[in-house]
Structure formats: C-alpha cells, structure tokens
C-alpha cells in the first residue's frame, strides 16, 4: 500500500494531487524506482515505519490479506484480482506472490507482487492484472489496475488464485463460472463487503456475480457494492446487516433470537412476547400472595439465541410436584397430585377404626381392624370366641361350633350352658310323617347331627278322600280332592246345582245332585231348553196353541178364552217351579 495521505504535496511531473497512486500515470506504475522516490519524498513522517509481512491462518491474524474482487475475461477483456488489507497495519508485499491455477489444479502462472506493489496500507484495496489496449475503457482501467503484464490471465470456467507469503499461504479463492452461467463470458466476481475476514472469504457462497447493468467492470480499488447473498432484496451495504439470513434486514420484524433482525444496531429490542408462553396456573399465575403482597407469577423474557424463557416463582417444580404443600407447584392446574392420599391429605392415609366409617378412604368400611382388649369369656365353645368388628362395633364372635340351641351331637357344649349334648335325652323321637310315622330312639349321626333311629317306617298308600289321614305320607291330608266345591248336573230346564262330595270308595268325588226331568216336547218361542238337549227352540219344536189338542203345556198354542187362560196359568206355574227347583244336597253313599 502506498503511504500517501490526502495532504501529500505534488510529487510527480504531472502534479496529480491524490491520496492514492492509482491516479498516477501508467508509466509511474511500472517504475519501482519512481514509486520509492514518491514514498521517500512525499510520505508524512508518521507513515515511514516499515510495514510487516502478511500472514494467514485462522483465527485471522492482524496482518492478513484477502481477495475481494476478480475480473475474468478473454484475450481482449480486462483481467484482474483485487487484494485488500482488512487489518490495522500496513503490509509489505516484497515477499508475496500471486499464483493462478487451472481447472485440473495445474499451476498456470506465478507473479511476484513486490515489484508492482511494494506496500499495501491498512484498509486499502488494490487490483492487479492486465488491461489489453483493445478493451473498452482501457485508458480508464489502466489508471486503476496495477499491471502484472500481458501474461496475466484467469481461466474462464474453473480456476483458483492463491496468495503466498514468507510464512506460507495467505489467502486463496476458487471459482467456477460454469456453475453460475451456461456459457461463461467476461464477468466480475465480488466478495460481499461484510465478509472480508480471511477465515470466511474463501467460501463461494459469500461471492456473487456483479450484474453487468450495475457495474460491468465491478469496483476495482473501491469498496464492493454488496451481493444480496440471501436473496431478500437487501444488500449488506444498504440495509442488510446479515446477508446470509433472509430474515434479517432493515424492514424485518424483530424476534427473540439473539440477532439484530431489523438492523437497527440493537438485539432483541421492542419484542412482543407470545401470549400464553409461560404457564399461568397455580403458583405461576399473577395475583396476590398469601401475605397480601403482589406476585408476578411466571414471567416471559427473551434469552437471545435460546429464545423466550420463563422466569418462574420460588417453589416452581417443572417435572412433577414433590412438595405436598397445598399449592400447584408445577402449574398444571392440579394441586399436590400424586402426593395426597385417598382422603385428600398429605402423607399416609389414616388408620382404619371399628366405627362404621371408611377411615382410610379406600371405599371399604372397618376392613382389617384388629380388636384387642375385648373380654369374650364363657364356657364350652364360647371360650374360643374372637373379638371382631361387626357393623362398626367391637363384638365377640363365636366359632363355627357355637349354637344358640344345641343340636349337634359332638361332645361339645355348643350353646355354652354347661351341658354337653343335652338334647340326647327325653323326649323321644319320631321318624316319618303321616301314616308312615314310627317312634324311635335319638342317636348321633356321622356328621355330628342328632338322628332318630327307628324301625322300618311305614309304607305310604294312596291318599283317601275324607278320612283325615296323610295316607301317602307327604305331609298333607286329603290333598287332591275338591270336596265342597260347586258342581252342576243336566242342561236347560234340567240343570241343577250342588256340591262335590267324597265318593263311596273314597277315591274320588261326585256331585250331590242329579239332572231334573225334561219335558216331552220342545216348546217354540219360550227361549227355554225344554227337552234338556243343550238347544233352545230347535227345529221340530211344538207351538204353544191351546185351541188345538192339548199335548202338555208346551204342545200347542194356548187360546184367549177362559179355559186357555187357566191352562196358561197352570203351565206357567209349572215352568216357573221347574226353573227354580233346587235339590238339597245329600250324600250319595
């Protein structure tokens, strides 16, 4: 870098006032002696300190050099590489060389830079290459480009440029225009000015093709325009403070991520925390503490790249509650879950008591209670009584052998009255029922019960009607007979009603009445079954006409004279008498 300041005196024959040798005539560029003379004669005293050698490696040393722009073209096109000193100190290029490699990695050319550019000042950028006379604007470009000679060329498709210094590699950049355009042609590749760190600038994603309509020959010797590497429409030189993140630019919405999203120089400012990010139940809810002081609950704040986090109140438990304190410590809307017993209190459930209540809240009453201190004395089997909880009251419960009235023949005092098997004495016993019953003697059975030992019991017989005995020995007397039930005999005017009586052989029952006597003829029109055959006024009945030969009360029509009247009266009385005739039941023996 040249050591000429803005206030440098006129140091050349053409009296060009400039802080940089890029405005000097081309002849001076090619003469090292001229440049040295300018340095000695014109540089201010504070710039005469000898610059150091550039180096490389990461992290970036303070004496680094980087490639910042490359112009690739054909034989008649300008070609150059731009190197920049991003550090704070002037660097010597006396031992620095530039190598150009081809597509297959073969070295195409090497150029020592010290003869063309002895020094490079901090913050300065210098293009070095070749500008053919036949190229457009060659006169203007020759002023800006330091000539390396006509032998300087860059591969049109795939190439690599390398800066080497006394300590080895300083910087390198590999490009491939065949990936960027179908038919490679003269083009300018520029490094986004936000990435001049030599540890980052080698990445192809940080470089871009400069649009010809923007600047057909780039910005050699000046700061690059910016690339919009993230495609968000904003350049790093104009409103994009992170050209690798499309969400970061001057019109972006600031979010909680540890970035300056809106490029205002402040990180995570003017944020609107999401509603409901922190739990708001239990102790996490804002309100009033039990002591009457306000409590904030869980409060959200931005933790940079971590995002939003919650500041929780004292006592908060994120995983699950471990404190049984009557508070919802994990803020899930439930209090002391998994910590309270079935009765809703902390700790073990209360012990079950004999009181008719579910003391331990397990849905059961008085279960498993052991009764102690209860006197269950007595004699006989009562000496084995146990104290148990019965219906909520401590109770002496007798064993299985206890009986209120002794019935077991087991040599035990089952009813605890001081007597053993006392039921074995008088009175005697009877086996069988009804006509089969016989007297016997009490004995002990095989199962301990008292049995009646008797001779062979009587055999049952057919049940008889009306003898008052259980003839078939089934415990019932005279069953199966309908003695006394109503019965009837005959049809029509012969029908009589009686009751059933035992038959003479006492094996069945018979009706106590017989049917009445039928009339000789069926009389027409009187609505009666006169001949008792189950039909009324059937075909063949005789008209009741008394003018004809009288054949009985129903044989002819009765006349209207006195004799007919008398005859009708007599016949009507006979019929009426026949209708209401009821025989008094008498037993049929």
Map out the domains of the chain as residue ranges. Answer: 1-49, 66-209, 370-419, 425-480, 486-579
Q: Do the beta carbons of residue 423 and residue 442 sit within 8 Å?
A: yes
* Residue 330: per-residue pLDDT: 93
The structure tokens listed for 526 are 């009187």
The pTM for the full model equals 0.47
Q: How confident is the model at residue 406 (pLDDT cuts 50, 70, 90)?
A: confident
3-class SS of residue 306: helix
Beta-carbon contacts of 431 under 8 Å, excluding residues fewer than 6 positions away, are 437, 438, 439, 440, 452, 454, 457
Q: How confident is the model at residue 303 (pLDDT cuts 50, 70, 90)?
A: very high
* Residue 14: per-residue pLDDT: 33
Euclidean distance between CA atoms 584 and 588, whole angstroms: 12
The structure tokens listed for 327 are 């508070």
pLDDT tens profile 337-350: 888 888 888 888 88
Q: How confident is the model at residue 266 (pLDDT cuts 50, 70, 90)?
A: very high
What integer is the mean pLDDT of 368-395?
82
Least confident stretch, 42-51, 251-260, 266-275, 433-442: 42-51
* Residue 92: per-residue pLDDT: 95
pLDDT above 70 covers a percentage of the chain that reads 83
- Give the number of other CB atoms < 10 A from CB of residue 112: 13
* Residue 579: per-residue pLDDT: 45
Least confident stretch, 100-104, 234-238, 245-249, 552-556: 552-556
Backbone angles phi, psi at 55, to 5 degrees: -135, -175
Closest CA relative to residue 554, chosen from 565, 540, 543, 539: 543
pLDDT tens profile 353-377: 999 999 999 999 988 888 877 777 7
Closest CA relative to residue 2, chosen from 58, 54, 40, 59: 40
* Residue 106: per-residue pLDDT: 94
* Residue 94: per-residue pLDDT: 95
The structure tokens listed for 392 are 């909520």
Euclidean distance between CA atoms 255 and 260, whole angstroms: 9
Q: Is 352's pLDDT higher than 80?
A: yes
* Residue 253: per-residue pLDDT: 94
- In whole angstroms, what separates CA 173 from the centre of its chain? 55
The structure tokens listed for 384 are 């084995």
Least confident stretch, 6-15, 386-395, 499-508: 6-15
- In whole angstroms, what separates CA 366 from the centre of its chain? 39
Taking CA atoms, 570 is separated from 468, 558, 575, 585, in Å, by 50, 12, 9, 28
Q: Do the beta carbons of residue 16 and residue 23 sit within 8 Å?
A: yes
Euclidean distance between CA atoms 316 and 474, whole angstroms: 84
Q: Do the beta carbons of residue 588 and residue 501 sit within 8 Å?
A: yes
Beta-carbon contacts of 544 under 8 Å, excluding residues fewer than 6 positions away, are 523, 524, 525, 526, 553, 554, 555, 556, 557, 558, 571
* Residue 569: per-residue pLDDT: 53
Q: Mean pLDDT across the chain, nearest whole number?
A: 80
Q: Do the beta carbons of residue 125 and residue 221 sit within 8 Å?
A: yes
Beta-carbon contacts of 528 under 8 Å, excluding residues fewer than 6 positions away, are 492, 493, 536, 537, 575
Euclidean distance between CA atoms 7 and 44, whole angstroms: 9
pLDDT above 90 covers a percentage of the chain that reads 32
- Give the number of other CB atoms < 10 A from CB of residue 122: 15
pLDDT tens profile 536-564: 988 889 988 644 344 445 443 444 444 44
* Residue 425: per-residue pLDDT: 66
What integer is the mean pLDDT of 523-545?
87
* Residue 59: per-residue pLDDT: 82
Q: Is 297's pLDDT higher than 70?
A: yes
In this structure, are strands 125-130 and 146-147 parallel, antiparallel, or unpaired?
parallel
Q: CATH number of 66-209: 3.40.50.740, 2.60.40.1260, 3.20.20.80, 2.20.140.10?
A: 2.60.40.1260
Q: Is 37's pLDDT higher than 50?
A: no
Q: How confident is the model at residue 385 (pLDDT cuts 50, 70, 90)?
A: confident
Q: Is 159's pLDDT higher than 90?
A: yes
* Residue 50: per-residue pLDDT: 58
438 has which bridge partners?
A: 431
Q: Is 154's pLDDT higher than 60?
A: yes
pLDDT tens profile 199-236: 888 888 999 998 888 888 889 999 888 888 999 999 88
Taking CA atoms, 133 is separated from 145, 150, 261, 316, in Å, by 13, 10, 48, 79
């Amino acid at each position: 870098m040249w050591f000429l300041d803005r206030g440098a005196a006129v140091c050349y024959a053409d009296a060009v006032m400039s802080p940089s040798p890029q405005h000097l005539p081309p002849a001076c560029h090619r003469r090292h002696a001229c440049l040295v003379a300018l340095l000695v004669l014109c540089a201010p005293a504070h710039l005469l300190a000898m610059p150091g050698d550039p180096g490389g490696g990461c992290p970036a040393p303070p004496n680094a050099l980087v490639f910042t722009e490359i112009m690739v073209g054909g034989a008649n096109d300008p070609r150059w590489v731009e190197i920049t000193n991003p550090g704070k100190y002037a660097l010597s290029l006396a031992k620095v060389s530039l190598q150009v490699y081809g597509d297959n990695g073969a070295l195409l050319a090497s150029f020592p830079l010290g003869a063309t550019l002895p020094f490079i000042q901090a913050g300065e950028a210098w293009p070095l290459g070749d500008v053919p006379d036949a190229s457009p604007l060659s006169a203007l470009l020759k002023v800006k480009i330091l000539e390396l000679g006509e032998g300087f060329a860059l591969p049109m498709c795939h190439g690599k440029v390398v800066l080497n210094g006394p300590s080895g590699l300083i910087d390198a950049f590999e490009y491939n225009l065949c990936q960027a355009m179908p038919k490679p042609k003269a083009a300018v590749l520029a490094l986004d000015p936000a990435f001049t760190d030599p540890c980052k600038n080698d990445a192809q994603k940080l470089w871009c093709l400069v649009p010809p309509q923007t600047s057909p020959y780039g910005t050699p010797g000046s700061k690059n325009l910016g690339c919009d590497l993230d495609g968000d429409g904003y350049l790093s030189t104009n409103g994009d403070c992170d050209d690798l993140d499309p969400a970061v630019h001057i019109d972006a919405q600031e979010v909680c991520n540890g970035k300056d999203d809106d490029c205002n120089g402040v990180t995570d400012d003017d944020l609107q925390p999401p509603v409901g990010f922190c739990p708001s139940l239990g102790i996490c809810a804002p309100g009033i503490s039990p002591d009457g002081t306000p409590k904030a609950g869980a409060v959200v704040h931005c933790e940079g790249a971590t995002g939003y986090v919650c500041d929780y109140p004292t006592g908060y438990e994120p995983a699950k509650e471990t404190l049984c304190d009557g508070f919802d410590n994990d803020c899930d809307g439930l209090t002391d879950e998994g910590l309270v017993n079935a009765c809703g209190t902390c700790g073990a459930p209360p012990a079950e008591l004999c009181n008719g209540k579910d003391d331990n809240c397990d849905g059961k009453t008085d279960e498993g209670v052991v009764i102690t201190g209860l006197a269950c004395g007595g004699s006989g089997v009562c000496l084995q009584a146990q104290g148990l909880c019965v219906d909520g009251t401590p109770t002496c419960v007798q064993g299985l052998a206890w009986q209120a009235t002794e019935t077991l023949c087991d040599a035990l005092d089952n009813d605890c009255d001081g007597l053993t098997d006392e039921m074995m004495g008088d009175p005697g016993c009877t086996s069988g029922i009804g006509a089969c019953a016989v007297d016997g003697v009490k004995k002990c059975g095989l199962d301990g019960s008292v049995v009646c030992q008797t001779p062979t019991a009587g055999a049952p017989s057919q049940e008889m009607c009306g003898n008052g005995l259980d003839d078939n020995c089934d415990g019932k007397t005279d069953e199966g007979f309908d003695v006394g039930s109503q019965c009837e005999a005959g049809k029509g005017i012969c029908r009589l009603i009686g009751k059933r009586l035992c038959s003479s052989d006492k094996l069945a029952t018979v009706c106590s009445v017989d049917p009445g006597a039928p009339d000789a003829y069926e009389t027409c029109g009187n609505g009666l079954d006169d001949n008792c055959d189950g039909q009324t006024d059937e075909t063949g009945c005789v008209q009741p006409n008394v003018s004809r030969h009288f054949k009985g009360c129903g044989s002819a029509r009765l006349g209207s004279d006195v004799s007919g009247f008398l005859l009708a009266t007599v016949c009507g009385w006979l019929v009426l008498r026949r209708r209401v005739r009821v025989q008094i039941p008498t037993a049929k023996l």
